[in-house]
A and B are shown apart, each in its own frame.
Chain A
Amino acid sequence: MFLNSVKLLVRRKQAIFWAAIFPLVLMVLFYFCFGSINEQENCIDARKIAVSIEGDSMYEKNFKELLTTLNDQYKNGESDLDLDVTYCDSDKFKELFDKEEIEAAYKVTDGKIEILLPARYKSATGMIVRQIADTYHVKYSIIEDAISKDPTKIMEIADKVQENVSYIEVDEASSGKDPYFWYFISTVVMGIMFNYMAGIYIVNNLRANASYEGMRIALSPESKFKLIACNFFAALLVNSLISMGHLAIIEFVFGKSVFAKPGLIIVAVVLSNAFSISLGIILAFFFKGNVETKVNKSLGIIMVMEFLSGEFIADIPGTIEKYCPILNRVLPSTVIKMIFYRLTTWDEVGDLYINFAKLAVAVVIMLVVSAMLLRSESYESV
């Protein structure tokens, strides 16, 4: 039966297309469009900022002081925020931007900081320069008096800046390693998310009111738990192999290293596929209508998740982090991406195991619930 389930899945062309071919096509297209940029632009260097200080008020002086402090902190290894600051006249900004010697500029006047960014700026850099200016502006007005007596108070502002930009740094540090590497990884994750379709087909095959084949199955003496398990594992096997294939292509065809921690990568692939399949299973029970309707409605949900995880607009998770950080911790597509980022880029384990656990718990809950639902085998109508 397991074998037959595998056969069924492999021959289901639509699902296979979305899971296997579509991400691959995207990767190849991407490679050809941006492959050249990829080679020129590698690590994030220091963020190059030009600053023009127009007067000599305390506000202006202290801003300069803040930048120096931030630089010291970086040099002492206390932070990841690396700023390469040039002080110059604001008239020179345009020239520097044109020559791409700076990524952002501050024009500081008494009590006000103006931020200048070129038309095409790195989103993370934009966020960081804004954070620095905002934090300084807000914090400074609070401790203005204190700072005039005790100049070391500037450290307080510096720490606050560090705190505020840390998540942007984390996000960027990864893509900074190779900005296009992320694209490949998140494409693999998207492929995995599309595997919810396998889940929908599984339920469709097993339910008497969803398909005629399901009716036959419902009439048979076969255990429904066994059927769901068999189909689930068959889909898991097929889809995990597909994801491994994608990763292998990234490694061997596009030359990006992804198998630094092979064991954990396999765990990640299996768990995240298990998640998307069981998500499909539960959604199939949840939505009414025929298979196509279910696939389409679920696709909507998946797309929203993908959007929120920054698939289309990279800033989204950063914005979420600012206003509703919990969402980034529980949103499946973000969690799955974080797992892959951890495994392919960062050295420290961090929240990896917590994220594994989150997925595992979600999978178990979804499967148990759907098996229970399938057990109510008598239907109002077929």
Chain B
Amino acid sequence: MAEVIKVENLVKKYKEIVALEHLTLSVNEGEIFGLLGPNGSGKSTAINCILSLLKYDKGDIKVFGKKMEPKSYDLKRLIGVVPQEVAVYEDLTVQENVDFFCGLYIKDKETRKKYVDEAIKFVELDDFRKFKPKKLSGGLKRRLNIACGIAHKPKLIFFDEPTVAVDPQSRNKILDNIEELQRMGCTIVYTSHYMEEVERLATRLAIIDKGQVIASGTVDELKKMIKKNELITIEVPGVAEEVIEKIEAMKNIFSVDYKESTLKVEAGEGKHNVVDIINLLQDNGYKMQKIFSVQPTLNDVFLELTGKELRDE
């Protein structure tokens, strides 16, 4: 698979603040690459460096196999960007905005008209063509922001936190759009600090913190990296001390906690942890009321790797 983006040892300082510290990552053709990290971890900075919008101190950046520079107009033509902030003209209508930004790439009037139309339909802003951005709700503005970034049909698209401050319905719509774009053959770089979004979308991802990649791979690969794999909760009254000890003795089990008729077990990787515990309890004649098992989230991955929560608000 072709590498669309390759970043090696990227260092970027804002005066004394080190925003990126030897960041290394690569993005393959056709994938949705998630860049997951808390606020201020350097996601936007990384994207802006890749786009050669920012000067950087050290490192090597290649896009489509070529060195990216401010005047790499041939590369810029292939790239679409949906910036973190809504970047549209307040004084132009929805349609004019999309047309303006598309016009920076597509000179042919016929083609452009078609593309603008398609982009507006794509983000479902058809009914708002004549609206000025300030009359749009936050979610609709975000969709306009997307339309402006993708109308020229780029091959590589950067989405920098496109769902910040958007209600769940609009958010879903945006995520659907991104998946649709991938199906259409685009390569996508998606940054977010919402782990479920990345979990849902990303083919592969990198978790970054303080300007460094602390882990990367597919979602499953990342989850496998951590020891605690599964949290099993069973409501079962009156379990005897010796049975609990037996569970603790089972292989793959890290900890067992029994309080107020609720048994909480942290288990490592293993296919039949739940079945094994249920069997043991049944053999001892206990009646179980509720059983559930929670798979680890990317938050757990982050927690284990950095010792802090990846805030998800």
Contacts and interface: CB of A to CB of B under 8 A. Distances in A.
B99 A378 contact: no
B148 interface: yes
Interface residues of A, number: 24
Contacts of A379: 53-55
Nearest to B56: A378
Nearest to B132: A11
Interface residues of B, number: 32
B88 interface: yes
A220 B53 contact: no
A244 to B, nearest CB: 23
A220 B107 CA distance: 13
Interface of B: 14, 48, 51-55, 70-71, 73-74, 76-77, 79, 81, 83, 85-89, 91-92, 96, 99-101, 103-105, 148-149
Contacts of A218: 53, 70
A231 B52 CA distance: 24
Contacts of A219: 51, 53, 76, 79, 81
Contacts of B85: 212
A265 to B, nearest CB: 31
Contact of B87 (A7, A213, A221, A380): A213
Given A219-B79, A221-B73, A378-B70, A12 B91 contact: yes
A377 B103 contact: no
A378 B61 CA distance: 14
A220 B106 CA distance: 10
Contacts, number: 74
Closest 7 pairs (CB-CB, A-B): A212-B87, A220-B104, A221-B73, A11-B91, A377-B70, A221-B76, A222-B104
A212 to B, nearest CB: 3
A138 interface: no
B53 A215 contact: yes
Contacts of B79: 219
Given A4-B99, A219-B76, A213 B88 contact: yes
Contacts of A8: 89, 91-92
A197 to B, nearest CB: 14
A382 interface: yes
A216 B55 contact: no
A216 B92 contact: no
Interface string A206-226: 001001110111111110000
A380 B76 contact: no
Given A4-B100, A378-B52, A216 B91 contact: no
A221 B103 contact: no
Given A7-B96, A216-B101, A377 B48 contact: no
B9 to A, nearest CB: 19
A381 interface: yes
A1 interface: yes
22 contacts: A1-B104, A8-B91, A11-B92, A208-B53, A212-B83, A212-B85, A212-B87, A213-B88, A213-B89, A216-B101, A216-B104, A218-B70, A219-B81, A220-B104, A220-B105, A221-B76, A221-B105, A378-B52, A378-B53, A378-B55, A379-B55, A380-B54
A215 B76 contact: no
Contacts of B148: 216
Contacts of B51: 219
Given A7-B96, A378-B54, A380-B55, 4 more contacts: A4-B103, A11-B91, A221-B73, A382-B53
